[in-house]
Structure 1
Amino acid sequence: MDEPARHNVRMTLALLAAYQLLGSLDLVRAAFTEPLAEMVRDATTAMLDYAEDPYQAMVDLAKAREEHFFGAGFTFEHAVDDGTRFHQDVHRCLYHEVLAGNGSPELAPVMCAFDGNWIEAIDPDRHGFRFDRATTIGTGGPVCPFHFNRVTASATPAG
């Protein structure tokens, strides 16, 4: 097991321990997602607002996290990476494996919910791209699709 995987296992087991102690999925979700929500959202907004190319900045960050943060416990495939679309699909999720293996697969969506903190920072009109994730492994999907797509002025709804 590589160091990123060890870190991710520790974090996932801490979530499991909190659930076993608190006994409430709602409390655990709030405790896991809310404390850093504003910081993550603000940092992501700042990165995108000050980037020369917000789409490319987010794609570069996604690729760096894949390489340095997730480790061997995750398997990624790139269905598309062409400068206007970056589709990064997770086919193996260590978080889900650890939680399901410890009898608590219902906690996997809590891990997925944390991403909402940075997802909410993406403003397609301002940043020129949108993010789509229709499902996750943790919510019963076959993969976790992290799909970043540039938008053009004509593709962005008026508003």
Structure 2
Amino acid sequence: MNVENMANYGNGLVDSLASPEFQKIEKKMFSQILGVLRHEVGIRGIPKVLYQWRDEVKKMKQTDWLALEVRGVPRDVIESTFDFIALMKVMESRFGMDKARTVITDIHEKTEAALRKTGSAVNLFAVPVGDLKACPDSFRSFAEYTKAQVKAGVKEGLHQTEIVEDTENVLSFHIHFCVIHEVAKAYGNAEWSFPWCRIDNVVYPKMGDRLNFTFTRRGTLPTGSPTCDFRFERCNGK
């Protein structure tokens, strides 16, 4: 299969979230959220957390985002970031930041594991890993697929991204502006973007195990780095 014909090829965040593949992923993730919350707050505590989460999303929708809109960021892109940011804010208010990070990571890990267990053809990013693995050069196919996603993210206004290296064995790019970071920062705390950042560290290493690459990142915008630097390198040049 050509990379261009694979599911979600060239989709930005908004289109990816609306895809049938991601709708299934959302259901899996919500099940894991309920399971983690049951462990952390008990069955009786779950409705309160869910209410707080929905209420926080509602408040975000009522917030003035003109500062981002005048920079050319569409409203649907802004709103596509709300669910995870609101969830992180609620988790921090209940558990503190360190525990909230642990809880969010647990949710991501368990969702990814649940997708693998059911034999899903996609991962948490709705990337068709099985199709990419079947390509003659899985790393370069992954690189081309990822570049199309990067380009779509720039086009929709989500990111300002610079590809700094694109060779047979390496794909590296830097994100200099991220709407997710800007929304979280404007709403009160840049670190509330953690779920979006952390998901990279959960998913990409597992993709690398299957597609023969390593993933490294030295910093993120929410933690004070001037860029989010992504580097994917073919293992052993093979």
Q: For the superposition of Structure 1 and Structure 2, which TM-score range results when normalised by the shorter chain? A: 0.7 to 0.9
Q: Does 1:37 align with 2:112?
A: yes
For the residue of structure 2 that corresponds to 1:86, the secondary structure is: strand
- Number of the residue aligned with 1:116: 201
Deviation of 1:76 (Å) = 0.4
Q: How does 1:1-159 map to 2 (within 5 A)?
A: 1-2=73-74, 5-15=77-87, 18-19=90-91, 22=94, 24-25=96-97, 28-29=100-101, 30-31=103-104, 33-34=108-109, 36-39=111-114, 43-44=122-123, 46-69=130-153, 71-121=156-206, 122-123=208-209, 127-152=211-236
C-alpha distance in structure 1 between counterparts of 2:218 and 2:92, whole Å? 29
Report if the CA contact (8 A) 1:136-1:145 is conserved: yes
Paired residues in the alignment total 152
SS in 1 for 2:162: strand
More strand by share: 1
The amino acid across from 1:146 in the alignment is F
Alpha-carbon offset, residue 110 of structure 1: 3.0
Question: TM-score w.r.t. structure 2 length?
Answer: 0.52
For structure 1, which segment, 66-75 or 27-36, has the greater mean C-alpha deviation from structure 2 after superposition? 27-36
Distance 2:147 2:76 in 1: 15
Give me the TM-score of the superposition, normalised by structure 1. 0.73
- Per-residue CA deviations over 1:1-45 (Å, capped at 9, x if unaligned) read 337623533335433553476454356442453453225667355
Which structure's CA Rg is the greater one? 2
Question: Cα–Cα, structure 1 residues 141 and 40, in superposed 2: closer, same or farther, change >3 Å?
Answer: farther
Identity of aligned residues (%): 22
| Structure 1: gaps of 5 or more residues | none
| Gaps in structure 2 of 5+ consecutive residues | 1-72, 124-128
